[in-house]
Amino acid sequence: MLKKKFNRIIILSIILSLLVIIPASFAAEDNVASIDGNIMIDDSIDDVLISDSADSDLIAGEGEDIPEEVPKMDIYFNSNALDDNGNGSIDNPYKTFSKDRIRENSILHFASGIYNYTPYSTNVFNVSIYGQDSSNTIINGIDDYHRFDFYETFNIENISFVNIQFVGMGSLLNASNVNFYNSTALELDNSGTSCGGAIYCFGNDNSIILNNCSFYNNYALYGGAIFSNGGNVSISNCNFINNTGKYYGGAIYQLYGNLSLISSAFDKNNANDGGAVFIFSKNGFLIESNNFTNNIANSSAGAIYTFYNQNYTISNNFYENNSAVNYNDLYEKSDLTVLSDNYTFFRLNLTDEIDEIPSYFNLSEYGFVTTVKNQGNGGNCWAFATIASLESAIIKAIYNMDSSGLLNDYDEYADILALLNDPENLTSLIDISEENMKNLAALYSPYGWDWTTNDGGNDRLAIGYLASWLGPVYDVDDRYTGSSVLSPVLSSIMHVQNVFYLNRNDFTDNDMIKKAIMDYGAAYASLGMHTNSNADIGTYVYNSADASCNHAVAIVGWDDDINIPNAPGKGAWIAKNSWGNNSGNNGYFYLSYYDVSSFKPGSYGGAFVFVLNTTIKYDKNYQYDLALTDYFLNETDTVWYKNVFNATQNEYLAAVSTYFQKETDWELSVYVNDVLKSTKSGFSTPGYWTIDLFEHVPLNVGDIFEVVFKINVTGDAGFPISEKVSLNNVFYKEAISFVSYDGENWEDLYELEWKGYSGHTYNSQVACIKAFTVFDVISTVTSLNVVYEGVNPFNVSDHEGFNPVNIIAYVTNQYGNPVNCGKVIFNISGEIVSVNVSNGVAKLTRVFDNGVYDIFAEFVAFGYESSSDSSSASIKRISLNMTADISVDLDTALVNIYLSKPINDIVYIILDNEICNVSSIDGRASINLTNRSLGLNNIRILLDDSIYECNEVVDSFTVEPKGTNIGCSDLVTVYNSGYEYKVRLTDEDGNPIRGRELVYSLNNLTDTLVTDENGEASLYINLNIGDYPFEIRYGGEKVYINSSNNALITVNTSILLSGENYLYGSSYTVNLLNKSSEPLANHEVMIIIAGETHTVYTDEDGTAKFNLDLAPGEYDVTIINTDTFEEKNQTINVLAINTTTTLDIVYDRTNPVNITAHVLDQFGNPVDCGEVI
């Protein structure tokens, strides 16, 4: 038996440790993988703290079955006994009550008296405690805190307990005629959370039955007297007096499970919400015939606060003198509408564009981040990364940083940096609670996901918490522990209205992310912290293959030049971790640009920054969605979606919000009672964005207003939804959220089911559209500024202002931000002009006559309080005279202007309907008016009469046309000469006309020429031999009359041949002419004769000779002039020369006969060739 009890105690200790021990940081973050939208869902929403299997093990011990009936041991106590030596029998009872006198399966009987009890904690198994009477039988926990942990069945009757809390896990508590006094619930596992000052029970098998019991002066953070998480609670004929639940349920907090509360009385209990009773249960409950008097709630529901419960009955209850800020008696919260108008307004005004992104940047070096925190064993990195990013954004907004990330005032910067690095002073600046976020966004919150608290999360939990105005809150109001599961809904210290999702196309496409960090502050980023990655966890991280995510950090900067081991390139992000200062480099580490788990290329999600840029404070958030859980994807690029809201008070609709999955063109329409009241269109990048309506839409109580979005994207359009399958609770119903594919026919999303899109299943959902209102008109300030744009031309000292005059109204709201709607109505000495306001400015430009003008400006817009300002403009013009002279050349007029004073200003010239201007310098100006019309040209010259009193010069000049002449002459040239033939175009005065086109005809061809600066144009003559008529004409234009001329071009041969007969041995001669028909001297000539080509040259007379050493006969000769490439053919005859032969015979008888023949040609010349036979 002792062994069995020992084992059960061990099991109890293990189970209790589950409330404290959470897996180490790596394991705890397994569910942070939000980039692909996968969400871990616990199928049993009502499983709480201890699982059913753990309860059964606890009850059954080491697998032993408990008999249906276990014999009971009766143990007796009597404080009036003479001594404490009894054995606990009825005849010899114990005098005192101690822990070791409690037996398992025992019945404890107490006689009237006071029994002091000292043990801190006691485990009781299947025990009953009966007193003699409840008024006089008292078990008193002395000194500090005392707790009974009961298991199985725990019966108590006719007794009072003082300063003792009863804690049950999946057990039955049956109490009748019992009083519970002065018990304060202990913090659970040092988590800061305390539940049920007198009774705290949890588990689906938990049961509490109370009859004729009373609870006095008990205290806990949640449920001053009773906290029940799951199971069944039945309370009848009980009294709850002066109990306090700091946050929820002054007397009773029922979370999940069933409650029956009948014929009981609640008096002087208090809490923040639900002065007497707070209920959040998916199951039904009954509250009937109870009295609620003098209960107080600091916020809502002096008596009963029911939180979006269904199938319940509240009837026949009596309420008197209960009080609360909202709803003195009963508050049945049936929607997610949040009222929050008492918060700090943070706005970052970006004034400069980032021109150059540095290679290194670190927000922490500028004091733009808070100190490194430690998430401990809780799997809450997602909350820490989100809060770190938000804190950074708030710090930038507080000190109005510019986009370069530098403070404008170095001295102030030094003070801020010192403060941020001093942990003792950090909270006084900004320190936001991760505790509140991670508890309200998870399992044990009516506003949470069906996701086990402290066991991971993702960015959608975090953004949903913030976008729903559940937070943030300061850390001092909800301190972090890694094991607690409950947090109160406190007043938000600020509102998040815009979240910018970050993306890149590849591992080096990081400029958009860098710019966002410089502009807005630290970026949330999910990543994988895998021990098998290429990483030194805590110092640097580079995942080369595993893209899954199990952690989240805040990215505060980058270093383009750092080398991360094993990464394919340089560069890394600087990550602020949440593992304390002793991890990594004082809590920071490097994350490689090439890490595949973070900033996944082409994917939005898992990385974002907060954009704090709203211009007014919104008071109420109409909403149905706790968070974005998915996108309703459609096989179309366009879709409409809308939500319908019911106005609960007279107010002004100021803005709406939604999520955009990808880059989106959108159109927004707002209807009130089916009447279109506002439209707007725009383009948004992926993220959560609030769209300011600019001019507010008035709403009255009971008005039905619809917010309709039409979106168009590239690819498949998806609109944001919140689904009950992922959440603890739903705040939507039928006929409030719709989808359409044509803008006319709408389908209710409440029960719309679709499994047609790959990877997504839709069953019941609501569109994520929120509507923001303000209760009162926004006050404004209008400041009027009169600016004289006219420049004092020569520093006239007695002039007050010069035209033109810019009248500028600057309109800011009560927060000091520019107003971007409405109109300013200007009254200028009786003239009424209305101008739209854009970015806080309404501008009007006017030109006045001399005098003083009163100016009044009033701003008006729906939802804004009008404001006004007044001023005046005083104008005096300058007196002077003007003269001018004009000279005309063709169609250009030179105008010289002379002013009587040394004015440096613009002079206006009006030519018929044409206006031009020229600037005067010291009262002189000149302008060439070119390309004027033929005939009379009228001219007016004037100054700006808003500044000057000056005469106009009215004059005229005439543009007359001129005659033209084309000079050309006859030409004699030779074949293919390339002779440059010139023509000349002049006007009637002999002046050359340049740049004009001439049309000529020659050799049956027509072409054009353009005259040069001398009026000349040339063409080159390359013609065959012959006579050619030449015609040329000029078509004329505005100032020149057309003209024409003609000439004769004669082309002769360039080769002059000699005769056809030549004696043998004589010279063949030919003469050549140049392009001017003159002898072509010293030039090469080619002569082809008898199949051979001979090159000869002309002499000074242009004659070329060739010796005919050819046998007599007829020869074809070809002559080529290599200057003109003219070729001529000739047939010549080579003639034999006639000879005469005479003989001289000398005869001497003594000698041989001597005969001599004398041969002479026909010219008497000796012949030196041949032979005489």
Q: Of how many residues is the chain composed?
A: 1173
Of the three residues 562, 588, 609, the one that is the final residue of a domain is 609
Least trusted range by pLDDT, from 66-70, 244-248, 376-380, 830-834: 66-70
**308 pLDDT higher than 90:** no
Yes or no: say if 193 and 175 are a contact pair by the CB < 8 Å rule.
no
User: What average pLDDT does range 876-894 have in this prediction?
Assistant: 90
- For residues 275 and 266, what is the distance between their CA atoms, to the nearest angstrom? 9
- Listed residue (528, 570, 573) closest to 555, CA to CA: 573
Q: What is the pLDDT of residues 793-846, one digit of tens each?
A: 554 444 456 778 899 999 999 988 999 999 999 999 999 999 999 999 999 998
| Residue keyed to tokens 């004929």 | 237
- For residues 56 and 66, what is the distance between their CA atoms, to the nearest angstrom? 10
Total domain count, the chain: 7
The answer to whether residues 571 and 631 belong to one domain is no
The answer to whether residues 1121 and 993 belong to one domain is no
CA triple 44-48-54, angle to 5 deg: 95
Sign (positive/negative) of CA torsion 299, 300, 302, 303? negative
> What is the domain-level CATH number for residue 717?
2.60.120
Q: What are phi and psi of 55, to 5 degrees?
A: -65, -45
The answer to whether residues 465 and 531 belong to one domain is yes
Cα dihedral 450→53→232→227 (10° resolution): -70
Residue 1061: DSSP 8-state? E
> What is the domain-level CATH number for residue 95?
2.160.20
Structure tokens, 165: 């809390």
Yes or no: say if 317 and 287 are a contact pair by the CB < 8 Å rule.
yes
Supply the DSSP string of 768-828, one letter for each residue.
Answer: -EEEEEESSPBPEEEEEEEEE-S--TT--TT----SSEEEEEEEEETTSPBP-SSEEEEEE
Domain that holds residue 383: 360-609
Cβ atoms < 10 Å from Cβ of 278: 30
**1053 pLDDT higher than 60:** yes
Which 3 state secondary structure label does DSSP give 1068?
strand
Q: Is 814 a member of any domain?
A: yes
Cβ atoms < 10 Å from Cβ of 551: 30
User: What average pLDDT does range 887-908 have in this prediction?
Assistant: 92
Structure tokens, 373: 């925190």
Least trusted range by pLDDT, from 332-346, 681-695, 839-853: 332-346
Yes or no: say if 1083 and 1122 are a contact pair by the CB < 8 Å rule.
yes
Q: Is 347 a member of any domain?
A: no
Looking only at Cα atoms, what is the longest distance across the chain?
A: 217
- For residues 252 and 277, what is the distance between their CA atoms, to the nearest angstrom? 5
Q: Is 659 a member of any domain?
A: yes
Yes or no: say if 233 and 202 are a contact pair by the CB < 8 Å rule.
no
pLDDT of residue 145: 77
Structure tokens, 384: 């820490």
User: What average pLDDT does range 377-405 have in this prediction?
Assistant: 82
Contacts 24+ apart (CB under 8 A), 832-835: 835/809
- Listed residue (642, 625, 662, 894) closest to 768, CA to CA: 625
Query: What single-letter amino acid sits at 246?
Result: K
The answer to whether residues 861 and 894 belong to one domain is no
The answer to whether residues 869 and 883 belong to one domain is no
Cβ atoms < 10 Å from Cβ of 745: 10
| Residue keyed to tokens 């879709």 | 639
> What is the domain-level CATH number for residue 1117?
2.60.40.1930
The answer to whether residues 1063 and 1048 belong to one domain is no
pLDDT of residue 489: 87
| Residue keyed to tokens 């992104």 | 357
Of the three residues 907, 928, 959, the one that is the final residue of a domain is 959
Give residue 728's Cα distance to chain centre.
31
**397 pLDDT higher than 90:** no
- For residues 74 and 88, what is the distance between their CA atoms, to the nearest angstrom? 8
pLDDT of residue 69: 53
> What is the domain-level CATH number for residue 802?
2.60.40.1940
The answer to whether residues 805 and 735 belong to one domain is no
**Helix pair angle (52-60, 2-18), 10° resolution:** 160
User: What average pLDDT does range 761-783 have in this prediction?
Assistant: 95
pLDDT of residue 538: 65
Q: What is the pLDDT of residues 109-127, one digit of tens each?
A: 999 999 999 887 888 899 9
Of the three residues 1024, 1052, 1080, the one that is the final residue of a domain is 1052
- For residues 758 and 172, what is the distance between their CA atoms, to the nearest angstrom? 48
Can you give the pTM of this predicted structure?
A: 0.70
For residues 690-713, one letter each, b for 16 or more C-beta atoms within 10 angstroms of the residue's C-beta and e for the rest, the string is bbbbbbbbebeeebebbbbbbbeb
Q: What is the pLDDT of residues 1083-1117, one digit of tens each?
A: 999 999 988 899 999 999 999 998 888 888 899 99
Structure tokens, 978: 């390339």
For residues 959-983, one letter each, b for 16 or more C-beta atoms within 10 angstroms of the residue's C-beta and e for the rest, the string is bebeebbbebeebebbbbbebebeb
Structure tokens, 3: 């062994």
Q: Is 1159 a member of any domain?
A: no
Instruction: Please give the mean pLDDT across all residues of the chain.
Output: 86
> What is the domain-level CATH number for residue 1021?
2.60.40.10
Q: Is 227 a member of any domain?
A: yes
The answer to whether residues 149 and 182 belong to one domain is yes
Sign (positive/negative) of CA torsion 411, 412, 417, 422? positive
Q: What is the pLDDT of residues 950-993, one digit of tens each?
A: 999 999 999 889 899 999 999 999 988 889 999 999 998 899 99
pLDDT of residue 429: 66
The answer to whether residues 538 and 428 belong to one domain is yes
Structure tokens, 470: 């559940």
pLDDT of residue 992: 95
Q: Is 31 a member of any domain?
A: no
The answer to whether residues 868 and 883 belong to one domain is no
Which 3 state secondary structure label does DSSP give 648?
coil
The answer to whether residues 946 and 970 belong to one domain is no
> What is the domain-level CATH number for residue 541?
3.90.70.10
Collect all residues with Cβ–Cβ distance below 8 Å to 408 and sequence separation of at least 6. 400, 402
The answer to whether residues 954 and 971 belong to one domain is no
Q: Is 35 a member of any domain?
A: no
Q: Is 27 a member of any domain?
A: no
pLDDT of residue 47: 32
- Listed residue (1027, 1030, 1026, 993) closest to 1012, CA to CA: 993
Cβ atoms < 10 Å from Cβ of 1007: 10
- For residues 1087 and 696, what is the distance between their CA atoms, to the nearest angstrom? 105
Q: What is the CA radius of gyration of the chain?
A: 54
Percentage, residues of the chain above pLDDT 70? 88
